[in-house]
């Protein structure tokens, strides 16, 4: 059984993430999509909410499970018999950041492989950050996030804006 891990912040999951999930799931027996902690990012959704949004988005993909973890990626991989980490690459900037993370993970756990999937050109401009920016300005989110979570993302952003205004 070959198990792959697709880790990320997923705040929230986008159409780009979903495409990587579908393509990676087709290459492995099992794919675990795991919400992990990125110390450089501030979240719109709590980790457990991101898990729920992911679960809704991957319904029907039978070999995909969704999880959440707060520790080191390599520790999670060891504990769940993961042989390969999968990441998506959109840009040269992504490549540089992902290469650094892959090198760190290789140093910590040499037997854990990392594979990269190139984003489809039509999805290469999509990120969670851009989806949130579009939500902030009330743009239709259908081109950015899975349909099943569009309303939730739009509503949460409006809540966040209301809170920002209250707090000045």
| 89 forms part of the interface with ligand PNS (CB under 6 A) | no
Interface residue with ligand PNS, options 51, 73, 82, 131 (CB under 6 A): 73
| 19 within 8 A of 123, measured Cβ to Cβ | yes
Structure tokens at 124: 């290469």
| 104 forms part of the interface with ligand PNS (CB under 6 A) | yes
- Active-site residue among 50, 57, 87, 90? 90
Q: Got the DSSP string for the chain?
A: --EEEEEE--TT--HHHHHHHHHHHTTSSEEEEEE---TT---SS-HHHHHHHHHHHTTT-TTEEEEE--S-HHHHHHHTT--EEEEEE-SHHHHHHHHHHHHHHHHH-TT-EEEEEEPPGGGTT--HHHHHHHHHTT--GGGTS-GGGHHHHHHHHHHHHHHHHHH-
The verdict on whether 128 is a catalytic residue reads: yes
- Active-site residue among 17, 50, 87, 156? 17
Q: How far is the CB of 103 from ligand PNS (least distance, A)?
A: 9
* Closer of 22 and 140 to ligand PNS (Cβ): 22
| 95 forms part of the interface with ligand PNS (CB under 6 A) | no
| 38 forms part of the interface with ligand PNS (CB under 6 A) | yes
Structure tokens at 159: 């809540």
Structure tokens at 39: 């110390």
- Active-site residue among 22, 41, 46, 142? 41
Segment near ligand PNS (CB under 6 A), from 25-33, 36-44, 45-53, 57-65? 36-44
Segment near ligand PNS (CB under 6 A), from 5-13, 60-68, 134-142, 154-162? 5-13
The verdict on whether 106 is a catalytic residue reads: no
Binding site for ligand PNS (CB under 6 A): 7-9, 36-38, 41, 72-73, 101, 104-105
Catalytic positions are 17, 41, 90, 128
């Amino acid at each position: 059984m070959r198990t792959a891990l697709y880790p990320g912040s997923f705040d929230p999951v986008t159409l780009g993430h979903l495409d990587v999930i579908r393509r990676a799931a087709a290459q492995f027996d099992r794919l675990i999509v795991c919400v992990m902690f990125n110390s450089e990012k501030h979240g719109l959704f709590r980790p457990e909410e991101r898990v729920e949004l992911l679960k809704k988005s991957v319904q029907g993909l039978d070999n995909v499970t969704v999880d959440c973890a707060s520790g080191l990626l390599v520790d999670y991989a060891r504990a769940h018999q993961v042989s390969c980490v999968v990441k998506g690459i959109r840009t040269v900037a992504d490549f540089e950041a992902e290469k650094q993370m892959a090198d760190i993970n290789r140093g910590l756990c040499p037997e854990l492989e990392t594979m990269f999937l190139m984003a489809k050109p039509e999805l290469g401009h999509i990120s969670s950050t851009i989806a949130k920016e579009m939500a902030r300005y009330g743009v239709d989110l259908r081109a950015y996030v899975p349909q099943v979570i569009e309303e939730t993302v739009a509503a949460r952003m409006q809540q966040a804006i209301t809170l920002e205004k209250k707090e000045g």
